[in-house]
Amino acid sequence: MHNERTAVSETAVSEKDGNRHTGQWFAAILLFSWFLIAAPGAGGTPGGDLEFNLSAGYRFGGLHWSIAGLWGTPNIWSELIWSKLQILQIEGEGKLNIERFTVRASLGYGLILAGDTRDSDYDSDDRTDEWSRSYLDARGGYLLHALLGLGYRCEFEAAPITLLPMIGIALHRQAMVMTEGVQVIATPFRTQDAGPIIGLDSSYTANWLNMWVGLDVVYEITDRLRAGAAVSVHPSLYYAEADWNKATDYAHPVSFVHRALGLGLCGELSVDFELSRRLLLEGRCGLDYWFGGPGVDETFYAAGGSIESQLNEVVWSSAQFFLGTVLRL
């Protein structure tokens, strides 16, 4: 259903490029602002109740979804798999401690440096009678997240442990692109001939809008060294928009949308080392797993109107590690 086929249709390429560059400008401004803040604050005066964290790292991830045919037949009609995604990411976070309460806000942006995409379509159940398959390049997409939370610190005199249960809202986005494709399984009158897909510039932007609850645990190993662990659960509303620029029978710039309920599970481990009273070095690693469905796939046609089928599932998973600094004010 959602395979790339027929001649190139007109799309707002310049608008897409502008959206892709917005996050890169955000990352550059974030990095520059950090140096403006941190440079005069590297002295040894006592830290306060405000912390800024800037970190950079690498993320490996994958995204896939599938839809059923009309009236549920076949049970898998079209399937997209993004795999081996390599993402360079930068994150900024601020924490404000007021009495025993902590307010946290964070922003992050990641640029997809490499990755593969497989687009397959089937005529029969359980991925049989495959009539279309193409392999596409995933480079140039991006990740974006914004998070806001409020927590209450629980400290214990008998042990150097701090517990911080939190609740908040967040948005996580995976903006995938597909370029430089090649058709490897072709069917006359249904797909283009086998070979390179000229003019390919399609996109799929997944959004997880969520409430979340979590727990941070910090253990003071020494006066200058601490270890932490964090887990969070994210009940989500999933919404995605796609522009299949090679499908002339689809509408543009929104060819189809996906809607579903989802859930995100996140875990992270961290180690902080105090370089001075105001400056810490931090290392973090973590795992994310997000899933949604069954839901709705609604396809819009250039001639007008739309048709709905079932979104079977959507899954995003990633592993990441970061290295950064924490500035106390």
Phi and psi at 101, nearest 5°, equal -95, 150
User: Confidence class of residue 69 from pLDDT cuts 50, 70 and 90?
Assistant: very high
pLDDT in tens, 10-62: 333 444 555 555 555 555 555 544 444 444 444 433 334 899 999 999 999 99
Tens of pLDDT, residue by residue over 195-234, are 999 999 999 999 999 999 999 999 999 989 999 999 999 9
pLDDT of residue 105: 96
Confidence of residue 128 (pLDDT cuts 50, 70, 90): very high
Number of domains in the chain: 1
Q: How many separate helices (H) and strands (E) can be counted in the chain?
A: 1, 13
Whole-angstrom distance, CA of residue 177 vs CA of residue 117? 9
Q: How far apart are CA 207 and CA 244, in angstroms?
A: 18
In a domain, 6, yes or no: no
Which pLDDT score, from 0 to 100, does residue 28 have?
Answer: 53
Q: What is the pLDDT of residue 277?
A: 85
The chain-wide mean pLDDT, for the chain, equals 88
- Residue-number span of the structural domain to which 295 is assigned: 13-328
How distant, in Å, are the alpha carbons of 25, 75, 91 from that of 29? Answer: 6, 46, 12
CATH number (domain holding residue 281): 2.40.128.90
Residue with the two structure tokens 């932007």: 205
Nearest-angstrom CA–CA distance, 243 and 257: 9
List the single range of 47-61, 251-265, 303-317 with lowest mean pLDDT: 47-61
Average pLDDT over residues 307-316: 97
Q: Which of 150-159, 186-195, 313-322 has the highest mean pLDDT?
A: 313-322
Written as six digits, the tokens of 69 are 């045919």
Mean pLDDT of 73-77: 95
Residue 3 predicted with pLDDT over 70: no
Residue 25 lies in a domain: yes
* H/E segment holding residue 18: helix 13-38
Is 292 within the bounds of a domain? yes
Distance CA 74, CA 71 (A): 8
pLDDT number for residue 156: 87
Compute the distance between CA of residue 278 and CA of residue 211 in angstroms, rounded to an integer: 32
Mean pLDDT, residues 127-145 taken together: 96
- Whether residue 122 is predicted with pLDDT greater than 90 in this model: the reply is yes
Model pTM? 0.84
